[in-house]
Structure 1
Amino acid sequence: MIDETRLYRLVGERLRKLREDFEMPEGRMTQAGLAALVNLERTSITNIEKGVQKVSLHALYGICDALQANVADVLPSPSEVEREKALPERTALEYGGRTYTAPPKALQRISAILDLDDDDTQP
């Protein structure tokens, strides 16, 4: 499953890098300059680069055209935006003769640090 937040953040980061690296006779391409070329507001470019605003396909093509880049170079691979699998449900952890309870994510991290097996074998 795709993590939309990660997808748009990565696309935005790649577009920002392309814009910042784009050489023009008058200097670096600004957000305002790019916005004017693709008929968007500067704030839209800002938000797209931050991954806050979802870029439409026609705008993405326009931005890539203005920056002389391929759309394929901006789009992350599916593995880069795959949603992390949920951690196994766990509410208690035994270690050193004591039982600790915490949210599942915290216990998973603690288990990894302590290098415990899934069966919670005592060290």
Structure 2
Amino acid sequence: MSDMEIYRILGLAIAKRRNELGLTQADVAGRIDLTRASLANIETGRQKVLLHQVFKLANALEINSITDLVPASFQFAENSEPVQFEGSDVNDRERAQLEHFVRTLGSR
């Protein structure tokens, strides 16, 4: 699964939940300090989303866990490359914890 495929799947889940709640993109974007256009790009997988934004989205969409935005069938390939956290100021220990979290989530 490519990086952008992950963003597409996440975006679809965000859009689905937003529609279930009867919220507009502007409603949700206003709750998380993004523009409506940015949220539209996230929902279509054209824009990467930062981890803190995922948490804000989960809260705005009344989701108990960010893991609810990822399908149960999501899995990394056995030989996949290390998870990249671009533009992030995490140290090596934090990077290892994040990668473990993402890979564990991907194998559930």
TM-score between the two structures when normalised by the length of structure 2: 0.64
Question: Rg bigger for which structure?
Answer: 1
State yes or no: 1:43 paired with 2:28.
Answer: no
Q: Does 1:4 align with 2:6?
A: no
Separation in 2, partners of 1:13, 1:29: 15
Flag the structure with higher strand content.
1
Separation in 1, partners of 2:57, 2:8: 16
Q: Distance in 1 between matches of 2:31 and 2:40?
A: 15
- Of structures 1 and 2, the one with the larger relative CO (CA 8 A, separation 6+) is 2
The residue number in structure 1 matching 2:53 is: 59
Amino acid at match of 2:14: L
Q: Which runs of 4+ in 1 moved over 4 A?
A: none
Higher helix share goes to which structure? 2
Per the normalisation by structure 1, the TM-score is 0.57
Count of matched residue pairs: 77
1:10-89 map, 5 Å: 10-22=9-21, 28-69=22-63, 70-76=65-71, 80=74, 82=76
Identical-residue share of aligned pairs (%): 34
Query: How far is the alpha carbon of 1:81 from its aligned partner?
Result: 5.5
For 1:13 and 1:42, how far apart are their aligned partners in 2? 16
Change (3 A) 1:42 1:81: farther
Could you say if the C-alpha distance between residues 12 and 47 of structure 1 is closer, same or farther in structure 2, counting changes exceeding 3 Å? same
- Look up the SS of the partner of 1:52 in the other structure: coil
Q: Structure 2: any 5+ residue segments left out of the alignment?
A: 78-108
Aligned residue for 1:54, secondary structure, equals coil
Does the Cα contact within 8 Å between 1:3 and 1:82 map onto a contact in 2? Answer: no
- Paired with 1:57 and 1:40, the residues of 2 have a C-alpha distance of 14
Q: Which residue identity lines up with residue 66 of structure 2 in the other structure? A: V
Q: Which runs of 5+ in 1 are unaligned?
A: 23-27, 84-123
